[in-house]
Homo-oligomer: A and B are copies of this chain.
Amino acid sequence: MEPIIVKYLVKPKLKDPVLIEGLPGVGNVGKISAEYLKEKLNAKPFVELYSKYLPPQVLMQNDGTISLVKNELCYYKNPNGRDLIILVGDYQGMSSEGQYELSYKVLEIVKEYGAKLIFTLGGYGTGQLVDKPRVFGAATHKELVEEMKKYGVYFSPTDPAGGIVGAAGLLLGLGSVVFDMKGVCLMGETSGYFSDPKSSYEILKIVKEYFNLELDLEEIALRSQEITEITTQLKEEQKSEERKEDLGYIG
């Protein structure tokens, strides 16, 4: 079989489109963000990618039917700016080689549609509860670093330590090295302990502003508020535990 099966559903005409990626990862921040964009902008699937690099699995739907695990490109015609190609999916590639192959194939496809810019969305796991998640950035070119700073994105010489693993990194890396594209990775701070829409909310505010999107953020703001409440409660419990321990030492 073809290692990656590309199934075109429709062939839209797109105007200077940007690729926006959000696949499963730390805190599912990227996945939540990209699927929110897809849903709220009513973006239409136009390419499905099936692959032996994905898990050998079908997923159950509520109606009793199954769906083979896939990645999917959806398009959104933006009346106020450049069009979007949104990459969502059930899984990332299972092996290093698979991750390279899948990212490369996505870049080949969006290149055909004229994409020259890439935004990859993800989480930056801190291992502790975060009150106000910052959005960290990384970019392929120095001028993009400067531009994104204006949108409140943090660029730190020490964060994210080491590097960016998976599609969020590879799309930018291969995009710039092989496909002459530019790109930005936005990483929302997250504990990494649970799916974190609060971190996604911070990312989406930047994406909305940058691309001038008619994007309703109300629902994700509500989900973000729920995370704030859970986090606050957890922190209270932690403090309470610590007080008990302190008293224990005194008593």
Q: Which residues of A contact B (CB under 8 A)?
A: 1, 5, 7, 48, 50-60, 62-69, 93-94, 96-97, 99-101, 103-105, 137-142, 145, 155, 157, 160-166, 169-170, 172-174, 176-178, 185
Task: Give Cα A65–Cα B101 distance, bound, in whole angstroms.
Answer: 23
Number of this chain's copies in the complex: 4
B138 touches A58 (CB 8 A): yes
**A161 neighbours in B (Cβ, 8 Å):** 60
A65-B138, A140-B65 known; A58-B100 Cβ under 8 A: no
Known: A50-B173, A52-B100, A66-B140. 4 other contacts (CB 8 A): A56-B99, A57-B163, A60-B162, A67-B173
**A172 neighbours in B (Cβ, 8 Å):** 58, 66, 68
A173 touches B1 (CB 8 A): no
Task: Give Cα A137–Cα B97 distance, bound, in whole angstroms.
Answer: 34
A47 to chain B minimum Cβ distance, whole angstroms, is 13
**A64 neighbours in B (Cβ, 8 Å):** 137-139, 142, 145, 155
A174 touches B50 (CB 8 A): yes
A144 to chain B minimum Cβ distance, whole angstroms, is 8
A143 to chain B minimum Cβ distance, whole angstroms, is 10
A126 to chain B minimum Cβ distance, whole angstroms, is 16
A63 touches B162 (CB 8 A): no
Q: What are 7 residue pairs bridging A and B, where the CB atoms are less than 8 Å apart in the complex?
A: A5-B178, A52-B97, A57-B163, A60-B160, A60-B163, A66-B163, A66-B169
By CB atoms of chain B within 10 A, which of A55, A64, A169 has the most? A64
* Closest B residue by C-beta to A52: B100
Task: Give Cα A157–Cα B62 distance, bound, in whole angstroms.
Answer: 5
* Closest B residue by C-beta to A164: B58
Which 6 interchain pairs have the tightest Cβ spacing? A68-B173, A52-B100, A64-B155, A64-B145, A58-B169, A1-B104
Q: Looking at the complex, which one of B56, B99, B100, B142 makes contact with A96 (CB distance below 8 Å)?
A: B56
Task: Give Cα A140–Cα B60 distance, bound, in whole angstroms.
Answer: 10
A105 to chain B minimum Cβ distance, whole angstroms, is 8
A250 to chain B minimum Cβ distance, whole angstroms, is 35
A1 touches B101 (CB 8 A): yes
